[in-house]
Chains A and B, each alone.
Chain A
Amino acid sequence: MTAATVLWVVVLALLLPILQTRSLREPLRSGARLLAEQPRRLPAPDVLLGRLAVVLVPSAALLALAVVPVGFAGAAWLSTSADLVWFNAAEVLLWVAWWCAGWSPNSVLPLVGAYRFLAQGLSYELPLMFSLITVGVAAGSLRVSDVLLAQQGVWFVVVMPVAAAVFMCAAAAFASWGPFAGPMGRDLGGGVLAETTGPARLALSAGRALFLGVAAAMTATLFLGGPAGPVASGWWWLLLKTVLVTAVMVALARRLPVLPPDRTVDVAWVVVLPLTIVQALVVSVLVLRGVL
């Protein structure tokens, strides 16, 4: 316990200067501004599907979070016999949500952004599925608790580095972050979000950011041992790993240019997808030979 206490004192000491900076106050300030902002409406919008999107983006993030073991006791809100498929299904709801968000304002640029999200989705979805399947094969189960049990010896990032890297890239893609921010791109004047203002914009942006955090927590759970640590295993390790993964993703995102979605399709299908299949094959052989 003492080691963990020391660790937390160090982490808090590092975080303290950040708390005082503008970068932390800015999201609160702009969030409050969006809450008070007058919503803008174009002629003939599809209000119903717009509302569906506003509800669906944050809810899908919470549904995905339900199978991540973020509880203080190291348990998820929900444990089923198919947690990994549940997570994938929650993520894929974003396809509908963002398409509806881009469709509803009755404007060109948001719709182009929505189609960009779907085009990007067709690139990242299959590699993401194969990386999840690889995790399931190594754990011999689709339960997240079994995945954690299987990582007691060695973390999955060591066994399946390709699957881990692909999962992180796909996570950035379904959160439309960094190089995969094309659907909300500045070249489209904000893309999907170009015409959305007020509380609706706040809900969509918050849902998108929440999904990035959930994806980071899932990365830490599936590939970095989750709540397990060298000393005093517990929820604080998962939190620390999640913060670190998020920090890495945000830092990389700030340094990489936005990729046009038409430049990711070939790479995803010709390079990344075969790589993930080979990764699944290698892990399967390791499981069959009893190494894992």
Chain B
Amino acid sequence: MNADAVAVSGVVDLVGVGALGAVAVALGVAVFVVDSMARATFALLGSFVAVAGLLWTLGLAYLGAVTVLMMTVEMAVMAVFMVAFMMNPAGLMPMTMVHAGRSAAAVATTVFVVLVVGVWVVDWSAVVAGASTATGDGMGPTGSAGAAMVEPTLQVGRAVMGSHMLVMLVVGVTLLATILAATVLATDRGRYDRFGDDLSRRRPDDPVTGGLPR
């Protein structure tokens, strides 16, 4: 590839990143503008999909695809819970996602400023070099040529299953415990409802059969 082609692809990438970033921000704003829970949920999903597109533009195919996958499931489940549990049954009446507007705006602005300053102040070349030595597998980029050779998907896998395994395990178990605890707290049926006041019932009395003999 000659220098002109590199420059053109650089410009195309820049325009793509800019457009996707604009879409992500616009849909993020739309979350707080629209008056329906369903629309707010899927505006947020659209914002995440635009971020996944950004990851894709940066050559991170796996992270982009997995972001779409996870966020779509999450938003679909969130739509169920928002419609079921929040103050606006069925979501058909006008609503707003903005509560405590002034303090929320202050927090959001502060976080945004901190992140933007961080992006421009941090010396990313040093961070990348540190990360590649931290994986400690001899696969890390040894220079600018080496960085392009290693597949990002492989790098992520090695980091998750290598130097960052402890973090991933702790996060995974914590999330699982949180989900279980939230489910236990949210359900209105406990073991006394299922097995009787003295827990003597042999078969639980469940309103939904589930599909397997109990």
Collect the chain A residues with CB atoms within 8 Å of residue B66's CB.
Answer: 82, 85, 89
Is the contact region of chain A dominated by helix, strand, or loop, or is it mixed? helix
B164 CB to closest chain A CB, in angstroms? 19
A83 CB to closest chain B CB, in angstroms? 9
Contact at B61–A82, with CB atoms within 8 Å? yes
Q: Mark A174-213, 1 if CB is under 8 A from B, else 0.
A: 0000000000000000000000000000000000000000
Q: Does A253 contact B (CB under 8 A)?
A: no
Contact at B153–A99, with CB atoms within 8 Å? no
Q: Does B42 contact A (CB under 8 A)?
A: yes
We find that the number of chain B residues with CB closer than 8 angstroms to chain A is: 28
Q: CB within 8 A of A89: which of B65, B76, B77? A: B65
Collect the chain B residues with CB atoms within 8 Å of residue A93's CB.
Answer: 68, 72
Contact at A82–B38, with CB atoms within 8 Å? no
- B98-143 with Cβ < 8 A to chain A: none
Q: CB within 8 A of A262: which of B42, B61, B77, B210? A: B210
Q: Which 9 A-B pairs have the closest CB atoms?
A: A266-B210, A263-B211, A82-B62, A80-B61, A95-B76, A85-B65, A89-B69, A266-B211, A89-B68
Contacts beyond the supplied A44-B92, A92-B72, A96-B42: 16 A-B pairs with Cβ under 8 Å: A80-B61, A82-B66, A85-B69, A88-B65, A89-B72, A93-B72, A96-B45, A96-B75, A99-B76, A100-B38, A115-B80, A118-B77, A142-B62, A263-B210, A266-B211, A267-B212
Q: Which residues of A contact B (CB under 8 A)?
A: 44, 46, 48-49, 52, 80-82, 85-86, 88-89, 92-93, 95-96, 99-100, 103, 106, 115, 118, 121-122, 125, 142, 262-267, 270-271
Q: Which residues of B contact A (CB under 8 A)?
A: 36, 38-39, 42, 45, 61-62, 64-66, 68-69, 72-73, 75-77, 79-80, 92, 151-153, 208-212
